[in-house]
Amino acid sequence: MMTDVLKIENLVAGYVKDLPILKDVCLTLEKQSMTVIIGPNGAGKSTLIKAVAGIVPVTSGSVTMGEQDITRIQPHQMGRHGLAYVPQSDNIFKNLTIIENLQLVLRQSPDNAKARLAGLLDQFPVLTEKRNAKAGSLSGGQRQILAVAMALANNPSIIMMDEPSAGLSPKATEEVLQQAKDLTKDGVSILLVEQNVKQALKLADHCYILAEGTNQLNGKAADLLNDPVVGEIYMGGKRLNPTKQGEMS
Ligand SMILES: Nc1ncnc2c1ncn2[C@@H]1O[C@H](COP(=O)(O)OP(=O)(O)OP(=O)(O)O)[C@@H](O)[C@H]1O
Ligand SMILES: [Mg+2]
């Protein structure tokens, strides 16, 4: 049985010819898992997601989904491959209502658009309440939930999200990350870039740490959550496992 849905192998990519930002990056996203990518500013996290989405040119290496080679797909081909991408910002149309935003993306699969719209509103009650409001009137967290609902409109098997919690309160962050995690129960696999390392590691299954455009460390999220090095670098030096606190300080 195939358990990995997305495989990135030795990816080299960048914005300018002969100036690679990503150097030999490897990553495997397992089926129905949530995998988080963390790393310092400028590490290449967004570039990695954009390279998979066909937005940043790939020089070498490969991206496969199951048996399909999707290296260098055009961004508009993502839907056809069951891939969706939620950028960090500008991911909704502020001047359209919630319903209009959803209808816009549902136009790509008109067959059962009405049923899909009802299904999405059902799945995200907060959007039902505000269905006729302009998306620009939503709170930050509600906007991210709308962006996720829009990404789900065409039944993707993979959603890539770039810092969905940027600028959100801790409570809204928790809600958005939990919504993302819940999608894995419906069979969706999530590749998430996140700055809220502690919260993300608590919910994610796997974690990859990138720095300077290349892999540093990867493993089970639960293991990295308790890793003193990761704690030191990414969680302000706070050790999360109280039983080990005495031994390590
Ligand atoms: N449009 C662009 N053109 C040229 N270089 C870019 C562009 N976008 C990003 N870069 C460069 O690519 C490198 C990686 O940037 P990237 O946005 O992938 O980092 P990141 O890990 O997502 O950081 P952050 O945590 O700040 O979002 C940086 O050195 C950045 O300056
Ligand atoms: Mg980024």
Establish whether residue 89 lines the binding site of ligand 1, counting it when its CB lies within 6 angstroms of any ligand atom. no
Q: Which of 34, 25, 30 is nearest to 201 (CA)?
A: 34
pLDDT of residue 200: 94
Strand 158-162 with 214-220, pairing = unpaired
Establish whether residue 196 lines the binding site of ligand 1, counting it when its CB lies within 6 angstroms of any ligand atom. no
CA of 211 to the centre of ligand 2 (A): 12
CA 119-122-128 angle, 5° bins: 115
Nearest CA to ligand 1 atom 30: 42
pLDDT in tens, 100-152: 999 999 987 778 889 999 999 998 999 999 999 999 999 998 999 999 999 99
CA of 41 to the centre of ligand 2 (A): 7
pLDDT exceeds 80 at position 22: yes
The phi, psi pair for 210, rounded to 5°, reads -110, 145
- 186-208: b or e for each residue (b if 16 or more CB lie within 10 Å)? eebbbbbbbbbbebbbebbbbbb
**CATH entry 3.40.50.300 includes domain 4-43+52-248:** yes
CB 135 within 8 Å of CB 102: no
Ligand nearest to the CA of 87: 2
Ligand nearest to the CA of 162: 2
Query: Where do the structural domains in the chain lie, given as residue ranges?
Result: 4-43+52-248
pLDDT of residue 161: 96
CA dist., res. 242 & res. 70, Å (int):
44
CA of 15 to the centre of ligand 1 (A): 9
Bridge partners, 63 (sequence order): 8
pLDDT in tens, 91-110: 999 999 999 999 999 987 77
CB 62 within 8 Å of CB 11: yes
Nearest CA to ligand 1 atom 27: 41
